Amino acid sequence: MHAEDCFACNLDVTDRLLASLPSFSSLRSTLLASKSAYNVFNARPLHILSEVAYNHIGPALPQALRLVRSYDAQKRPKVVPSEEECVENSRITWEEAQLLAHVNKIICGLEDLFSFREKDRTSRTSQLTSQESTRFQRAVYRIWLFSVLYGNARLTGCEQESHNFVQEPALAFLSAFSTTELREIERVARFLKRAVASAVENTENYELTIDSILTCGPPCILTAAARKAHMPDKAHLSSGRRGFLTDTLHQIWVERGVRPTWHFAGAGVLLDSVNGAKDRCARCNAVKGLSLFNPTNWDLLGAYVAPVETKLQQLGLIETEPSELPPPPRALVSYPEYMDAIYGMRDRDAYKSWQRDDWMCTRCVEEAVMVHLPAWWAQQ
Ligand SMILES: [Zn+2]
pLDDT at 335: 87
**Of 227, 245, 264, which marks where a domain is finished?**
264
Residue 228 has pLDDT above 90, yes or no: no
Q: Are 237 and 365 within one domain?
A: no
Residue 280 lies in a domain: no
Residue 298 lies in a domain: yes
pTM: 0.86
Per-residue confidence band for 156, with pLDDT thresholds at 50, 70 and 90: low
**Concatenated DSSP letters for 310-350?**
HHHHHTTS--S-GGGS-HHHHHT-SHHHHHHHHHHT--TTT
Q: Which domain holds residue 327?
A: 292-379
pLDDT at 167: 79
- Ligand 1 centroid–CA 85 distance in Å is 52
Top pLDDT among 251 and 74 is at 251
**Of 264, 279, 313, which marks where a domain is finished?**
264
Q: Are 169 and 234 within one domain?
A: yes
Query: C-alpha dihedral over 317, 323, 328, 334, to 10 degrees?
Result: 90
Q: Are 36 and 86 within one domain?
A: no
**Of 228, 244, 264, which marks where a domain is finished?**
264
DSSP H/E element including 293: strand 292-293
Residues whose Cβ atom is located within 5 A of ion ligand 1: 281, 283-284, 361, 364
- Ligand 1 centroid–CA 380 distance in Å is 28
User: CA angle at residue 210 from 116 to 126, to 5 degrees?
Assistant: 15
Residue 316 lies in a domain: yes
Q: Is 82 helix (H, G, I), strand (E, B) or coil?
A: coil
pLDDT at 149: 87
- Ligand 1 centroid–CA 118 distance in Å is 19
DSSP H/E element including 283: none
pLDDT at 316: 78
Q: Are 187 and 217 within one domain?
A: yes
DSSP H/E element including 79: none
Tell me how far CA of residue 108 lies from CA of 183, 202, 269, in angstroms.
20, 28, 19
Average of per-residue pLDDT across 39-49: 91
CA distance 104 to 110: 10
The domain total for the chain is 3
Per-residue confidence band for 329, with pLDDT thresholds at 50, 70 and 90: very low
CA distance 261 to 268: 10
- Ligand 1 centroid–CA 369 distance in Å is 13
Residue 271 lies in a domain: no
Residue 51 lies in a domain: no
Closest CA to 117 of 107, 108, 127: 127
What is the per-residue pLDDT across 11-23, written as a single tens digit (0 to 9) for each?
Answer: 888 999 999 999 9
CA distance 113 to 124: 7
pLDDT at 318: 73
**Concatenated DSSP letters for 114-155?**
HHHHHT-TT-SS----HHHHHHHHHHHHHHHHHHHHHSSB-S
Q: Are 310 and 195 within one domain?
A: no
- Ligand 1 centroid–CA 285 distance in Å is 6
Q: Are 339 and 233 within one domain?
A: no
CA distance 218 to 158: 10
Residue 348 has pLDDT above 90, yes or no: no
Per-residue confidence band for 201, with pLDDT thresholds at 50, 70 and 90: low
Residue 118 lies in a domain: yes
- Ligand 1 centroid–CA 357 distance in Å is 14
- Ligand 1 centroid–CA 340 distance in Å is 18
With a pLDDT cut of 90, the percent of the chain lying above it is 50
pLDDT at 377: 87
What is the per-residue pLDDT across 268-309, written as a single tens digit (0 to 9) for each?
Answer: 789 999 999 999 999 999 999 999 999 999 988 877 887 787
pLDDT at 347: 81
- Ligand 1 centroid–CA 119 distance in Å is 20
- Ligand 1 centroid–CA 217 distance in Å is 37
Per-residue confidence band for 202, with pLDDT thresholds at 50, 70 and 90: low
- Ligand 1 centroid–CA 289 distance in Å is 11
Q: Are 33 and 75 within one domain?
A: no
pLDDT at 126: 98
Q: Are 108 and 193 within one domain?
A: yes
- Ligand 1 centroid–CA 229 distance in Å is 34
Residue 353 has pLDDT above 80, yes or no: yes
- Ligand 1 centroid–CA 299 distance in Å is 18
Bridge-partner residues for 293, per DSSP? 360
Q: Are 137 and 227 within one domain?
A: yes
Look at strands 292-293 and 360-361 and give their pairing: antiparallel
pLDDT at 11: 81
pLDDT at 107: 97
Phi/psi at 293 (nearest 5 deg)?
-135, 140
Top pLDDT among 54 and 260 is at 54
- Ligand 1 centroid–CA 283 distance in Å is 5
- Ligand 1 centroid–CA 70 distance in Å is 49
Residue 2 lies in a domain: yes
Residue 340 has pLDDT above 70, yes or no: yes
CA distance 30 to 28: 5
What is the per-residue pLDDT across 170-189, written as a single tens digit (0 to 9) for each?
Answer: 999 999 999 999 999 999 99
CA distance 370 to 367: 5
Q: Are 72 and 22 within one domain?
A: no
- Ligand 1 centroid–CA 355 distance in Å is 14
- Ligand 1 centroid–CA 359 distance in Å is 8
Q: Are 27 and 21 in contact (CB under 8 A)?
A: yes
User: CA angle at residue 266 from 262 to 269, to 5 degrees?
Assistant: 140
CA distance 372 to 311: 11
Q: Are 125 and 185 within one domain?
A: yes
Residue 331 has pLDDT above 50, yes or no: no
Please name the residues in contact with 308: beta carbons below 8 A apart, sequence gap of 6 or more.
Answer: 333, 335, 338, 369, 373
Q: Are 106 and 235 within one domain?
A: yes
Residue 274 lies in a domain: no
